[in-house]
Structure 1
Amino acid sequence: MSLHHLVTGWARRTPDALAVSDMDTAFTYRELDQRANDYVTALRGRGVRAGDRVLVWTAKTVEAVALAQAVLRIGAIQVPVARGNPRERVSRIAADAEPALIVTDHDDPFPDAKSVTRAALLDEAEPGAIPEHDPVRLSDPAYILYTSGSTGKPKGVCVSHGSALAFVEWASGELGLTGADRLANHAPFSFDLSVFDLYAAFHAGASVHLIGETLAHAAEQLVDFILGRAITVWYSVPSALILMTEYGDLLGRGPGALRACVFAGETYPLKQLQSLRRAWPGVRMLNWYGPTETNVCTSYEVTAADLTRTTPIPIGSPVAGDRVTVDDGEIVVDGPTVMIGYWGAEPLQGPYRTGDLGRYDADGLLEYRGRRDNLAKVRGYRVEPAEVDAALVTHEGVRDAVVLVLGNGLQARLHAFVVAEPGAEPGLIDLKRHCAARLPSYLNIDALHLIDGFPRTGNGKVDRVALGDLVSPGDRTARGSARA
């Protein structure tokens, strides 16, 4: 069994059942299976073989899902990159992953023999072919998800078929998924939340409904999507649910066909969570936890008992056979959902140290206590400020830069502290444009502080605590420019 066998199995058993839809097109399991086979012939014609990486830089469409299936069927490794990523960041990812092929739906692909548009690739396929699929072991890599890296470069989390399936099989059972379910896919394919949306749906013979990047932050339209598509299972960061609550009348319009609402990626503010729990008494609500390196490793179900809670909800108990311990305050995970390792580095030996702080409460439930280092969550995405630092210092007016995450939870913001070149004082809008050309939108800065120099610790390192103290507590969630 591997990830691509989920689709081929349902293509035999329920070929006419809906498998995947985007905003314009839908594929049944038969159609998805055949289109994936078409792409297999095209990829092999391009020389892609087992173990090769295929970087897929496209919009979220049914065609992209079929292409991902094809990559898996030849034993290659998918590297999904959201279409909104700027070319410069994609180039850095490609330099690390060294893909055999880059597939994009941009009109101007990389001027390289290894680059092709998705439409051109499909034109090279043999329609209707039924090619043999390469044997794949559970230990083989399935995909690489690039996250913000501590060195200023994107870092590739390499996940095996077995690791993904361990999570998917647990999640499908936990939610009792069946072929009648309709799952939404809100997260980008490069975000680990998509693993559940796609493969849990395919595990159950259900359908997954893709939300494009332009719709992902449109509150009213998202609520329309949930109700109009009769979505039964929703999974997103809390920010998306709060957006729909505040600007899309999510509570007033009701859950529709929704029977399960799952959230992960950041802390859900207690008052907003309790309002949602109170408004949707018949909808199961689950808080899932786990960095990209482990996928989901703990779960907590929010019930009516939490309506009187005055402290943040826990992240719960270990799942999917994982072992989750706390060592010197740090959450440590070992078990079947853990990654192989970072691409290009030595395989992970032993358990994964998350860098997250936690503790078990009196009931044996794990509580999240924050980050051990500078890694943080902003708008539901894991952010390593060093990658933003690296982008800022390429601006001609910036001599040096340090980015801090200030504020907590949904109020977390990226504050850039910049030492300008002599005679230059770049503005916030200028630097935001500069970042937009090099970074995904969630890594763009929110506030700019021009300073003459950085405070230092006794060993000469930047004193980040002192730097953060230059911003008053009342200004930590602000967006704007200031001289600190």
Structure 2
Amino acid sequence: MELYEKIKRWAQLNPDRVAISSGGSDLTYREIEEYSNSLSIFISEKMKGNEPVIVYGHMEPLMVVCFLASVKSGRAYIPIDASIPEERVKKIIDDSGAKLFLSPGSIPANLKLYDHLLMLEHNEIEDAIASYKGKQPSSELFVKGDQNFYIIYTSGSTGNPKGVQITYNNLASFVEWMVSDFGLKENQRFLNQAPFSFDLSVMDLYPCLYLGGTLWTISKDLIANPKWLFQSLKESNINVWTSTPSFVEMCLMDQQFSEKMMPHMETFLFCGEMLPNETARKLKTRFPNAVIYNTYGPTEATVAVTSIEITEAILNEYPSLPVGTPKKDVEILVMDENGNAVSEGEKGEIVIIGKSVSKGYFNNEKLTKKSFFLYHNQPAYRTGDIGYIKSGWLFCAGRLDFQIKLNGYRMELEEIEVQLRKLSLVESAVIVPIYKDNKCQYLMAVVVPREHEFEKEYQLTAHLKKELQKLLPTYMIPKKFVYVSSLPMTNNGKVDRKKIANEVGV
């Protein structure tokens, strides 16, 4: 994959084609090429080290310019969505050692207190671009090979987020697979539903830019307003849909979501959580001429590593859909607790081996050694996902630990518990994931409260949720709260989660 050359080529061949369209704000291929070139020179001249660059915002087209400017200056970028709580952002700043913070929007006042950070907001970024207009960076500086291209911070069991390093080679392997195996074509229009801090966005962003397409973003404001959302989808003329199954399920609740509303739809790509059979069935009915792919992969293995086209035959044969076969430069094994491959049909931990696997967690050798290893001199990653292989296809069957996926977001239940226990009115707490048909529907907090003055439980719940919003992203806040006088323990002194789940009626 020659991503830099491809974008430059599109800027020359189709300079006025819109590369990114977000909420009425557009950037053409010429603009993202020229702007990223200019900004990369600014970064190279202002920054002496090679620390990663934080890019903070919510789906603004200028964020992509900042991504490309960072890697053209030889530095990885760290995408952070503006919806992330400030305390979590501060932890990422501290852990990453970043010296440059770029925001196409505005920067919260509390984050501006970092003296060691050079911070640029929208107008300052535009000034930096203008000051180096027409300048060409040296391609010798570009991130390449095994250098980090981006670092995405995911939930960590200690209460601290951990940075997954994805190299240029990792990304190249992924994009080459996307453009060769999924029938994607040049000049298509791609849906971008996931914020850039969620690695599902990589599935649409880079194949789109590689193929000279147009990225049509769906912001959180649109998702919160169905009328605006469907108006945007009608106007989008998209050909390639990338989202979590949960998002398309929300759209399917409205009968107008169909081929009539979106006549140019060709390909649906799903990742991030389990795709229910019934959801795929509804989609095939509404969009009979579109192809549906189910994929699987963790952030640590560059977005996704397996795929399967969901046909009528697959739907009829498998109530729980397979996630398919691995890409050609990846091997997948299902292993028992001793590291031995299990027999076909037997469940075990999914282990991913090959070019897609990350170098590990940024500045965290201990956690890296826990999950990453070499298998026959190939990088390998223990996913913690339970799976089995049947008829040559991989099937997912939940998690080995307390890490779950909810609405496409992967999170550590322990991280939520750590933050919940920090609250002044919480003595102790456990998070229980509520499942239906092998899919996590929502999170329940089982709380031992401290003495408080609230008369009703719903008042206490509202207070705790408000406090949690300062510490966690919205998608990690439990939907339901249950209050108990104490948490049961197992014989070895651990909280008895199974008993708790039974007692609260799960």
When the two structures are superposed, what TM-score results if normalisation uses the length of structure 2?
0.88
- Between the aligned partners of 1:2 and 1:388, the Cα distance in structure 2 is 40
What SS class does the counterpart of residue 299 from structure 1 fall into? strand
- Between the aligned partners of 1:370 and 1:410, the Cα distance in structure 2 is 8
Task: Write out per-residue CA displacement over residues 173-208 of structure 1, whole angstroms, 9 at most, x where no aligned residue.
Answer: 122323220111110101111112111011112121
Letter in 1 for 2:112: F
Instruction: Name the structure 2 match of 1:63.
Output: 62
% same residue: 31
Instruction: Name the structure 2 match of 1:341.
Output: 360
Instruction: Name the structure 2 match of 1:482.
Output: none
Report the CA distance between 1:349 and its aligned residue: 2.8
Letter in 2 for 1:151: T
Q: 1:359 to 1:472 in 2, by over 3 A?
A: same
Alignment partner of 1:319 is 2:353? no
Instruction: Name the structure 2 match of 1:25.
Output: 25
What SS class does the counterpart of residue 197 from structure 2 fall into? coil
- Between the aligned partners of 1:87 and 1:367, the Cα distance in structure 2 is 38
After superposition, residues 100-139 of structure 1 pair within 5 angstroms as 100-104=99-103, 105-107=105-107, 108=109, 109-113=111-115, 114=117, 115-125=119-129, 126=131, 127-133=133-139, 134-139=141-146
What SS class does the counterpart of residue 351 from structure 2 fall into? strand
What SS class does the counterpart of residue 90 from structure 1 fall into? helix
Alignment partner of 1:384 is 2:408? no
Alignment partner of 1:422 is 2:451? yes
Report the CA distance between 1:402 and its aligned residue: 1.7
Instruction: Name the structure 2 match of 1:193.
Output: 200
Letter in 2 for 1:316: G
Instruction: Name the structure 1 match of 2:389.
Output: 360
- Between the aligned partners of 1:367 and 1:307, the Cα distance in structure 2 is 14
Instruction: Name the structure 1 match of 2:11.
Output: 11
Task: Write out per-residue CA displacement over residues 221-272 of structure 1, whole angstroms, 9 at most, x where no aligned residue.
Answer: 3333333121000000001101011036313745410100111111122222
Instruction: Name the structure 2 match of 1:216.
Output: 223
Report the CA distance between 1:471 and its aligned residue: 1.2
How big is the alpha-carbon RMSD for the aligned residues of Structure 1 and Structure 2?
2.0
Task: Pick which of 158-167 and 276-285 moved more.
Answer: 276-285
- Between the aligned partners of 2:414 and 2:349, the Cα distance in structure 1 is 22
Task: Write out per-residue CA displacement over residues 278-306 of structure 1, whole angstroms, 9 at most, x where no aligned residue.
Answer: 23221010001001111211101111223
Task: Pick which of 226-235 and 308-317 moved more.
Answer: 308-317
Which blocks of at least 5 consecutive residues in structure 2 are unaligned? Answer: 337-347, 375-379
Report the CA distance between 1:106 and its aligned residue: 2.4
Task: Pick which of 134-143 and 100-109 moved more.
Answer: 100-109
- Between the aligned partners of 2:95 and 2:274, the Cα distance in structure 1 is 31
Instruction: Name the structure 2 match of 1:479.
Output: none
One of 440, 446, 449 as aligned partner of 2:473? 440
Instruction: Name the structure 2 match of 1:81.
Output: 80
Q: 1:25 to 1:96 in 2, by over 3 A?
A: same
- Between the aligned partners of 1:67 and 1:87, the Cα distance in structure 2 is 21
Alignment partner of 1:400 is 2:428? yes
Instruction: Name the structure 1 match of 2:53.
Output: 54
Letter in 1 for 2:496: D
- Between the aligned partners of 2:255 and 2:443, the Cα distance in structure 1 is 26
Instruction: Name the structure 1 match of 2:290.
Output: 283
One of 457, 462, 477 as aligned partner of 2:490? 457
- Between the aligned partners of 2:314 and 2:177, the Cα distance in structure 1 is 24
One of 142, 147, 161 as aligned partner of 1:140? 147
Which blocks of at least 5 consecutive residues in structure 1 are unaligned? Answer: 474-484
Count how many residue pairs are aligned between Structure 1 and Structure 2: 471
Q: 1:304 to 1:218 in 2, by over 3 A?
A: farther
After superposition, residues 299-318 of structure 1 pair within 5 angstroms as 299-309=307-317, 311-318=319-326
- Between the aligned partners of 1:342 and 1:303, the Cα distance in structure 2 is 37
Report the CA distance between 1:40 and its aligned residue: 1.5
Q: Is the 8 A contact 2:384 2:400 kept in 1?
A: yes
- Between the aligned partners of 2:260 and 2:88, the Cα distance in structure 1 is 40
- Between the aligned partners of 1:334 and 1:64, the Cα distance in structure 2 is 32
One of 137, 147, 166 as aligned partner of 2:173? 166
- Between the aligned partners of 1:184 and 1:336, the Cα distance in structure 2 is 27
Q: 1:431 to 1:423 in 2, by over 3 A?
A: closer
Instruction: Name the structure 2 match of 1:481.
Output: none
What SS class does the counterpart of residue 373 from structure 2 fall into? coil
Q: Is the 8 A contact 1:3 1:161 kept in 2?
A: no
